[in-house]
Chains A and B, each alone.
Chain A
């Protein structure tokens, strides 16, 4: 089970208060089991992406929701295309 402690141990640059803020903003969306936050693999990779955006690409905290929202719309669209039986990259 991936708890907040496990997750923070996995990324050297991740601080718990940053992560909690991202959760409150909906950037990272863990499950909850009783009084604990539980993360799945997609959440771990989401955190890795946010850290890449922040530390490598210098996307600051104010721009982060814009970038994530656009990405979420993009992937939403691609999933929907696949549901309809259309391979998104096949028609190029």
Chain B
């Protein structure tokens, strides 16, 4: 069982933190083992003093000790007074009487100068990383996004068309400030492109399913197709069945630099809609001119 830390330090139980610190300094000066190599009892004393100080210099632990939640043992602290163990051995001769006061400065002067130079040399600022959420259409068409930094600066980030999630844009000189007139670092902006329920990206092309009515599918005709650049009137050929693909050239990801624009692929999907008595009546009497089985080739399961 360790001694009462207040007794060890010789302070009252309601001593102020300053009084505790002062008592600790006084005892440390007296008992530090490296200052008392011939007195093994100094080491034990100093250890007790340090343990007591560790415990009651921390307000939280002091309160817990006062409430009886923890005992006076405290935790093992960093070893103090281990210099002594080296100095007592032959290797202690390293710190024998100094031969010449100027010697050490001369001995390492070139290293000191080199470090000094390195510390005074201009240093580039650090790169700083940010994330930026980009709406689907902005990634398709290209856009300029505003990114507000934690320090209040607002960066204009040019989003090139065709960018995808995980790509990193580098804004030169927009990162951390350089030191001693060194250049600023870069801002590295990782983009996160949102999805869109209407379109699916495949490389630089877009795919979408276009619902068409039975009448549009059978007779063909103009339909309005939503494209990233706005609604587009497309004329369906007659007899456009479910699954038929229509390519709209250049209506995918916008062109960028040397790269041409991607295409938009429509995949038709016939939708019957609400039941219609007239249609039902017609179909009951309708005999196809060329009967066909849409399930031909699927009867046999092998």
Taking Cβ atoms with an 8 Å cutoff, the residues of A that contact B are 16, 20, 23-26, 29, 32, 35-37, 40-43, 45-46, 48-49, 52, 56-58, 69, 71-76, 78-79, 82, 88-89, 92
CA distance A79 to B84 in the complex (A): 11
CB pair A75–B95 under 8 Å, yes or no, is: yes
Measured CB to CB, the nearest residue on chain B to A53 is B32
In the assembled complex, the CB of A85 is this many whole angstroms from the nearest CB of chain B, namely 14
CA distance A41 to B86 in the complex (A): 8
Mostly, the A contact residues are: helix
Chain A residues, CB < 8 A from B90:
79
In the assembled complex, the CB of B44 is this many whole angstroms from the nearest CB of chain A, namely 15
CA distance A69 to B101 in the complex (A): 12
CA distance A76 to B34 in the complex (A): 13
Contact partner of A42 among B83, B103, B105, CB < 8 A?
B83
CA distance A26 to B100 in the complex (A): 9
CB pair B80–A24 under 8 Å, yes or no, is: no
User: B111: CB under 8 A from chain A?
Assistant: yes
CA distance A42 to B95 in the complex (A): 9
Chain A residues, CB < 8 A from B105:
24-25
CA distance A70 to B63 in the complex (A): 41
Complex interface bits, B101-137 against A, C-beta within 8 A gives 1, otherwise 0: 1011101101110110000000000000000000000
Measured CB to CB, the nearest residue on chain A to B108 is A23
In the assembled complex, the CB of B119 is this many whole angstroms from the nearest CB of chain A, namely 8
CA distance A78 to B37 in the complex (A): 9
In the assembled complex, the CB of B4 is this many whole angstroms from the nearest CB of chain A, namely 22
CA distance A28 to B95 in the complex (A): 8
CA distance A56 to B38 in the complex (A): 21
Chain B residues, CB < 8 A from A88:
37-38
CB pair A72–B24 under 8 Å, yes or no, is: no
